[in-house]
């Protein structure tokens, strides 16, 4: 049986201008000292990684691999979450999402979308060059503002929205097919791909593209009150990446799933450090192991209460304790009677 690799850590939430979080070498040494074995690298943060240079230069890619290897780490995946978000942006969110874009394309929605497409396209080739087989991203959204509609959605609106989303992503999916890399969408509120049904709509819009896959993060399902364990049973064949992130949902008499526009600390649904929330990770790791998931278990740390350094320190042993070493033989092999066709026929009364 195959087994899950880990622990890994997503570096995005830890990057800052102060050492050791301001360059790839020092942050990798920091996470290696904490017990991590892999890093998921955000490609928009040039303090850590220059995506365009990696696309243009084999030497740069070799240097990055050397830095990672020198600290005893691997790269789990590259991430284009912010660039993927910009592939599809409804005008209602233009001003807010301009923060994700470089200056030269701000206030230029079409140019910004084209830049995002180029970024994700480059990530396909760079992932191949680095020897990776999965990539993490967001889908963007054209329909999110209609998620709970009033007035009701016009007939055909959802179908048209997913048709356009599929049109934008299909050429990129083909790029990842050419690179031999799975494109893994993190199903996330705010994205048009945020649950199983919307992922199915996207598959239909892209011809069930083989490279359209899932970054499984149970925390976003807890906040939606979706059965995150049953999700694995249904979609395990498409789960190609895994964020280990905890969450809790504690509804009250004043607010529920929508959170009342409150800050994270006051919302009923909150992200928590590993072990501080409600998620049953024993069952998650068991199910993913049962279905043969052999990718990386990657900590994504987002907690409104705990210091990030403490969350990172606690995350590595938490993941390590949940990894399941699969057996080389069945537990009841000692009682096997071997292969005997005549015996089998006799037992069957034949």
What is the residue extent of each domain of the chain?
5-347
Residue 327 predicted with pLDDT over 90: no
Mean pLDDT taken over the chain: 96
Res 164: pLDDT: 98
Structure tokens given for 343: 């015996």
pLDDT (average), residues 66-84: 98
Q: Can you tell me the distance from the alpha carbon of 236 to that of 238, in angstroms, rounded to the nearest whole number?
A: 5
Residue 289, pLDDT above cutoff 80: yes
Residue 7 has pLDDT above 90, yes or no: yes
* pLDDT surpasses 80 at 97: yes
Cα 45 to Cα 325: distance, rounded to the nearest angstrom: 35
Q: What is the pLDDT of residues 194-216, one digit of tens each?
A: 999 999 999 999 999 999 999 99
- Of 38-42, 230-234, 346-350, the one with minimum mean pLDDT is 346-350
pLDDT computed for residue 30 by the predictor: 98
Average pLDDT rounded to a whole number, residues 258-269:
97
pLDDT of residue 328: 78
Q: What is the pLDDT of residue 329?
A: 77
Q: Is the distance from CB of 219 to CB of 245 less than 8 angstroms?
A: yes
Could you tell me if 162 and 202 are in contact, meaning their C-beta atoms sit under 8 angstroms apart? Answer: yes
Residue 314 has pLDDT above 90, yes or no: yes
- pLDDT for 13 equals 96
State mean pLDDT over 140-167: 97
What pTM does this model have?
Answer: 0.96
* Spatial separation of the C-alpha atoms in residues 157 and 323, rounded to whole Å: 43
Cα–Cα nearest to 79, from 191, 183, 226: 183
The average pLDDT across 272-278 equals: 98
Q: Which positions ≥6 away from 331 have C-beta within 8 Å?
A: none
The predicted pLDDT at position 340 comes to: 87
Confidence band, pLDDT 50/70/90 cuts, at residue 38: very high
CA distance 250 to 238: 30
Average pLDDT value for residue range 323-344: 82
Share of the chain above pLDDT 90, in %: 94
pLDDT class of 135 with cuts at 50, 70, 90:
very high
Hey, what CATH topology would domain 5-347 get? TIM Barrel (3.20.20)
Residue 119, pLDDT > 80, answer yes
Give the model's pLDDT for residue 339.
Answer: 83
Q: Return the pLDDT at 330.
A: 73
Q: Can you give the pLDDT at residue 2?
A: 84
pLDDT of 332 > 80? The answer is no
Maximum Cα–Cα distance for the chain, whole Å? 79
Task: Transcribe 49-99 into DSSP letters.
Answer: --HHHHHH-HHHHHHHHHHHHHTT-EEEEEEEHHHHHTTSB-GGGHHHHGG
pLDDT at 179 over 90: yes
| Nearest C-alpha neighbor of 89 from the set 45, 136, 150, 144 | 144
**What does the alpha-carbon distance between residue 72 and residue 75 come to, in Å, rounded to a whole number?**
10
Q: Are β-strands 246-249 and 269-272 bridged in parallel, bridged antiparallel, or unpaired?
A: antiparallel
Is the pLDDT assigned to residue 105 strictly greater than 90?
Answer: yes
* Mean pLDDT value of segment 319-343: 84
């Amino acid at each position: 049986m195959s087994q899950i690799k880990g622990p890994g850590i997503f570096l995005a939430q830890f990057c800052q201008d102060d050492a050791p979080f301001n360059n790839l070498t020092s942050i990798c040494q920091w996470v290696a000292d904490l017990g991590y074995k892999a890093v998921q690298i955000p490609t928009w943060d040039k303090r850590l990684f220059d995506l365009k240079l990696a696309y243009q230069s084999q030497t740069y890619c070799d240097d990055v691999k050397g830095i990672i290897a020198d600290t005893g780490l691997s790269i789990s995946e590259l991430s284009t979450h912010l660039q993927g978000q910009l592939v599809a942006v409804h005008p209602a969110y233009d001003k807010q999402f301009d923060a994700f874009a470089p200056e030269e394309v701000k206030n230029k929605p079409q140019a910004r979308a084209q830049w995002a497409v180029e970024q994700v396209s480059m990530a396909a080739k760079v992932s191949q060059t680095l020897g990776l087989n999965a990539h993490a991203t967001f889908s963007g959204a054209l329909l999110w503002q209609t998620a709970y509609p009033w007035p009701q959605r016009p007939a055909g609106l959802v179908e048209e929205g997913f048709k356009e989303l599929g049109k934008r992503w299909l050429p990129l999916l083909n790029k990842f097919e050419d690179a031999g890399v799975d494109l893994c969408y993190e199903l996330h509120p705010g994205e048009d791909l945020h649950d199983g049904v919307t992922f199915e709509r996207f598959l239909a819009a892209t011809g069930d593209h083989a490279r359209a896959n899932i970054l499984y993060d149970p925390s976003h399902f807890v906040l939606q009150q979706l059965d995150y364990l049953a999700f694995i049973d249904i979609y395990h064949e498409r789960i190609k990446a895994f964020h280990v992130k905890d969450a809790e949902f504690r509804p009250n008499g004043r607010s529920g799933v929508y959170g009342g526009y409150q800050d994270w600390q006051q919302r009923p649904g909150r992200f928590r450090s590993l072990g501080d929330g409600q998620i049953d990770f024993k069952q998650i790791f068991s199910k993913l192991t049962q279905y043969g998931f052999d990718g990386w278990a990657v900590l994504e740390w987002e907690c409104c209460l705990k210091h990030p350094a403490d969350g990172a320190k606690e995350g590595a042993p938490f993941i390590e304790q949940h990894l399941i070493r699969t057996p080389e033989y069945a537990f009841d092999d000692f009682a096997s009677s071997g292969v005997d066709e005549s015996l089998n026929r006799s037992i069957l009364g034949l």
